[in-house]
Amino acid sequence: MDHFLYREGVLHAEDVPVAEIAAQVGTPFYCYSAATLTRHFRLFDEALDGLDHLVCFAMKSNSNLAVLKLLAAEGAGMDVVSGGEYARARAAGVPGDRIVFSGVGKTRDEMRAALEGGIRQFNVESEPEMRALSEVAAGMGQRAPIAIRVNPDVDARTHAKIATGKSENKFGIPIARAREVYAEAAALPGIEVVGIDVHIGSQLVELEPFELAYTKVAELTRALRDDGHDIRRLDLGGGLGIPYTRSNEAPPLPRDYGDLIKRTVGDLGCEVEIEPGRLISGNAGIMVSKVIYVKSGEGRDFLILDGAMNDLVRPSMYDAHHDIVPVIEPAAGAEQQPYDIVGPVCETGDTFARQRPMPVLQPDDLVAFRSAGAYGAVMASEYNSRPLIPEVLVQGDKWAVIRSRPSFEEMIGRDQVPDWLEADA
Ligand SMILES: *Cc1c(COP(=O)(O)O)cnc(C)c1O
């Protein structure tokens, strides 16, 4: 459920007509619904009712400062994967003890910054990383709290680029070697073991892979406790999928996911963390774009939009489907025709959809890409020297630009020409 609905024939973001925003900020742009973000966060929070828990928003899915502030005010923690994300979380006012640091390649500088600023725990993904963290922390007279990310070797049955829990993936340490690695951790001077971490992938549309993984984590918890480790926290990762098409079977609900967590690890007396990204932000955002041309090709018509793969890369990167809807609601029973929907970038991969049935559209008509709030704006680039597109947040009948569109001058102004090239102009 989200808050992008037609009212009196025009698409609204909560109480604001999308066309009104387009008229003021220009297209393309991202638009987020505060009510949807809040609602999705609360669904997770309530699903874990009865367990000592913290929902850490995976901010790689959407790291705009306003979005972070909104979720932080709801009590969210943050799952960060870089020094830049850590800095953003702190800038949004998230206290260090609500920030979990994930990622396979943390640098010593990133470790130091997080230890200085405060951190709930590092999710450690390898022995070399653990040894480096121990050195950094010990050098600062600290012990770094860690969970070790174990790779449970389960098939998440999702797109290959976002599956992370099989033994051939680069993530975590094999669960079969966990006891050995925890033994080393316990002996390191700059490390304090607090828990276990697992994250098996993204856009999971079934609960079974979670069940397999969490059952293995519960067994490991018992084994590690027998070995003398004080395992008091379980980070169970993110990854619950969202419906990208209206017609799709609905993915599992946070409530059922919460019940699964209680069933598999609820009796261990551990504090539980989860790290949902997409399910909180995905359906809380749309990307609005304008038709520039309608071009007739060999046996097919192309809708050429002003939005492109550099603005929303998921279709070209993950073969992802986004529902694309006209901002003016088509009349009931209106004629439909198939279009190839493309952007202006000079790549054949800059194709959002092929032979997609749409109502007949004209130049200057607006369309909205649904489910674009996660892995949308954050993955954008300036390829083809197209400035990053603005982000807008709607709350009720209020709206505000939360990241503005840079001018060409601002974009170009970041480049620097060495003086030996300036000299003899
Ligand atoms: C990407 C990621 C998440 C969030 O995944 P979603 O599918 O957006 O819920 C959580 N934890 C880790 C470690 C991740 O890499």
The residue whose CA has the least distance to atom 10 of ligand 1 is 238
Residues contacting residue 256 through CB under 8 Å, at least 6 positions apart: 207
**Minimum-distance ligand 1 atom for the alpha carbon of 281:** 8
Ligand 1 contact, 197 CB (< 6 A) = no
User: What's phi and psi for 147, nearest 5 deg?
Assistant: -115, 145
Tell whether ligand 1 has an atom less than 6 A from the beta carbon of residue 239.
yes
375 Cα to the center of ligand 1, angstroms: 11
Whole-prediction pTM: 0.96
| Closest atom, ligand 1, to C-alpha of 103 | 13
Same domain as 249, residue 204 = yes
Q: Calculate how far, in angstroms, residue 307's C-alpha sits from the geometric centre of ligand 1.
A: 26
Which two structure tokens, joined as six digits, stand for 304? 């050429």
Q: Which residue's structure tokens are 């949807």?
A: 36
Alpha carbon of 239 to ligand 1 centroid (Å):
6
Distance CA 138, CA 132 (A): 10
In this structure, the residue with its CA closest to atom 3 of ligand 1 is 238
In a domain, 83, yes or no: no
Residue 206's SS3 state is: coil
Angle between helices 108-117 and 127-139 (to 10 degrees): 50
Q: Where are the beta strands (DSSP E) in 300-422?
A: 301-305, 324-326, 336-342, 351-359, 366-369, 391-395, 398-403
The minimum-distance atom of ligand 1 relative to the CA of 241 is 7
Establish if 374 belongs to a structural domain: yes
- Choose the final residue of a domain: 222, 245, 274: 274
From the CB of 12, is ligand 1 less than 6 Å away? no
Whether residue 75 lies inside any domain: the answer is: no
Pocket mutation for ligand 1, best pick of 102, 169, 206 (most atoms within 8 Å of C-beta): 102
Q: What is the total count of domains within the chain? A: 2
Q: Which residues pair with 286 in a beta bridge?
A: 31
CA distance 275 to 236: 7
In a domain, 327, yes or no: yes
Range of the domain at 310: 4-31+282-413
* Structure confidence at residue 302 (pLDDT): 97
Interacting residues of 131 by C-beta distance below 8 A, sequence separation 6+? 188
- Binding residues are 239, 275-278, 314, 318, 347, 375
Cβ of 275 below 6 Å from ligand 1: yes
Which among 40, 234, 227, 93 has a CA at the least distance from the CA of 152? 234
CA dihedral over 330, 334, 337, 338, signed as positive or negative: positive
Would residue 76 count as lying in a domain?
no
Q: Is the dihedral of CA 419, 421, 422, 424 positive or negative?
A: positive
For residue 150, the model assigns a pLDDT of: 97
Catalytic pick among 31, 56, 270, 346: 346
**281 within ligand 1 shell (Cβ under 6 A):** no
Q: Which atom of ligand 1 is nearest to the CA of 61?
A: 8
Q: Do 28 and 239 form a contact (C-beta atoms < 8 A)?
A: no
Q: Residue 25 corresponds to which tokens in the numbers above? A: 């900020």
Q: How far is 260 from 47, CA to CA, in rounded Å?
A: 10
The answer on 244 and 153 residing in a single domain is yes
CA of 77 to the centre of ligand 1 (A): 14
Which residues sit opposite 175 in a β-bridge? Answer: none
The predicted pLDDT at position 2 comes to: 82
Q: Is 128 contained in some domain? A: yes
Domain co-membership, 196 together with 261: yes
CA of 199 to the centre of ligand 1 (A): 7
CA distance 182 to 166: 20
Ligand 1 touching residue 237 (CB < 6 A): yes
| Final residue of a structural domain among 225, 255, 274 | 274
Does residue 134 line the site of ligand 1, with CB under 6 A? Answer: no
Verify whether ligand 1 is closer than 6 Å to residue 36 (CB atom).
no
- Residue 241 Cβ inside 6 Å of ligand 1? The answer reads no
What's the pLDDT score for residue 157? 80
Catalytic annotation present for 31? no
Biggest alpha carbon distance in the chain? 75
What is the residue-level pLDDT of the chain in tens, covering all 425 positions?
689 999 999 999 999 999 999 999 999 999 999 999 999 999 999 999 999 999 999 999 999 999 999 999 999 999 999 999 999 999 999 999 999 999 999 999 999 999 999 999 999 999 999 999 999 999 999 999 999 999 999 988 887 777 787 777 788 999 999 999 999 999 999 999 999 999 999 999 999 999 999 999 999 999 999 999 999 999 999 999 998 887 666 889 999 999 999 999 999 999 999 999 999 999 999 999 999 999 998 889 999 999 999 999 999 999 999 999 999 999 999 999 999 999 999 998 999 999 999 999 999 999 999 999 999 999 999 999 999 999 999 999 999 999 999 999 999 999 999 999 987 65
What pLDDT does 1 receive? 63
Residue 90 inside a domain? The answer is no
CA pseudo-torsion sign 208, 213, 219, 221: negative
pLDDT at 247: 63
Domain identity same for 132 and 264: yes
The runs of H, that is alpha helices, within 92-197 are 108-117, 127-139, 178-187
Q: Which residues are annotated as a binding site for pyridoxal 5'-phosphate?
A: 239, 275-278, 375
> From the CA of 276, how far away is ligand 1's center (Å)?
6
CATH of the domain at 147: 3.20.20.10
* CATH code of the domain containing 394: 2.40.37.10
